[in-house]
Amino acid sequence: MDNYVELQARVNLLEYHQKLLLKLLTAPNLEFYRLVIENGVSEHEVEAFNQLCEHLNKKMEEQKAEGFINFHPLFNEFLYCLPENLNAKEVVHACLKQHLFEPLFKEFTKCL
């Protein structure tokens, strides 16, 4: 039974990466997707990453409205929740190239 569950998880991962590869064929600048595939990140991990970024982006906007100019605590939260097989610097640059959460990642470049 364990082998079946493990095999099914691997098939799901391959199917997800195949979908991303098809997107990369038509738009090679999708750097974050390339990182996802290269590092074996699952669809669930990407969904959690997107939720994290939405949360941090909203939090950053609230903090900016309150006059904050230092976002290192948000960056630390990002680092803590980032899938361990991803490099933060690569993720920040890839997301900017792919235009994902641009305001957030522009601030995070200052923290690198």
Which backbone phi and psi does 61 adopt, to 5 degrees?
A: -60, -40
Instruction: Please give the pLDDT value at position 2.
Output: 81
For domain 2-109, the CATH architecture is Orthogonal Bundle (1.10)
Residue 64 region by backbone torsions, left for phi larger than 0, else alpha for psi between -120 and 50, else beta? alpha
pLDDT tens profile 26-62:
998 999 999 999 999 999 999 999 999 999 999 999 9
Q: What is the pTM of this model?
A: 0.92
Nearest alpha carbon to residue 13 among 33, 47, 48, 37? 37
pLDDT number for residue 61: 96
